[in-house]
Amino acid sequence: MESFAHTPAPARPQGPLRGMRVIDFTHFVAGPYATLLLADLGAEVIKIENPKRGDEFRHYPPALDKLDGEGAPFLWVNRNKKSVAVDMKTPQGQQLLRELIKDADIVVENFSTGVMERFGLGYEELAEDHPRLIYCSVSAYGRSGPFADRVGFDPIVQAESGFMSLNGYPDREGVRTGASVMDIGTSMMAANGILAAVIERERSGRGQLVETSLYASAMTMVGYSPLQVLSSDNWNAGRHGNGSPDTAPTGVFHASDGRSTSPAPAPTSTSACSS
């Protein structure tokens, strides 16, 4: 495998969020990608993990022997962060976390509904002593309503939102994307909300609660297809493969600029590349 030279990050973070501290209670992807964006913008991000196993995403394959068995997916979504192991179930751990939050600008969490409140770390309780705190809560289906207690995952909301029905070929079942686009999209929405709250705090001096969910983001990711259907009696918003019902030329075309790296069989004449 080809190796690449590593350039260390600067000793002092750069970027527009330098000097800001984020306490990160997130895990897996929907949440950690949001704090990753904040870290890339210069914020100091302190990730809180379980002392026994840490974030379960640490154990996703492949494990990298040169980095003490850390999983490559975990490293992808947690660059530029610091990590602290704290037992949130103990009074001592909860007190330590409250002390950390006193000096923080932003808290981000994506636990199941009610978990942070049970630990005394919900927004309402923290905001009483820290009115400038920006608190972002990422959930599967929102923190209120009949689905507030449901656990959600990227492939599930791809199906529930109708996103899968738009992907694939018309003569086959819908397919999900290989990448966790709903998790990543939700994190981007969360980061946008946090940045807006930072601007508002500069104006008013007060923080606020920011919320987003996988399902809300999934309904955004289906794009303009629902409006097309609602605006026409005969519009087909189904699966069109690599083509498009409203744009041309769109597709995968035979070309002459090299072999495709796809595992799919190569064409008999020339190679294929995406437009």
Q: Which of 143, 147, 135 is nearest to 193 (CA)?
A: 135
C-alpha pair distances (Å), 194 with each of 89, 99, 153, 198, 212: 27, 22, 22, 6, 11
CA atoms within 13 A on the CB side of 223: 8
Facing residues of 24 across strands?
Answer: 47, 108
Neighbours of 177 (CB within 10 A): 14
The residue with tokens 């605006």 is 231
What 8-state DSSP symbol labels residue 239?
-
For this structure, is 183 an active site residue?
A: yes
C-alpha pair distances (Å), 199 with each of 109, 169, 187, 210, 232: 20, 44, 19, 13, 40
Q: Which of 35, 40, 10 is nearest to 23 (CA)?
A: 35
The active-site residue, picked from 183, 233, 246, 257, is: 183
As annotated, the active-site residues are 183
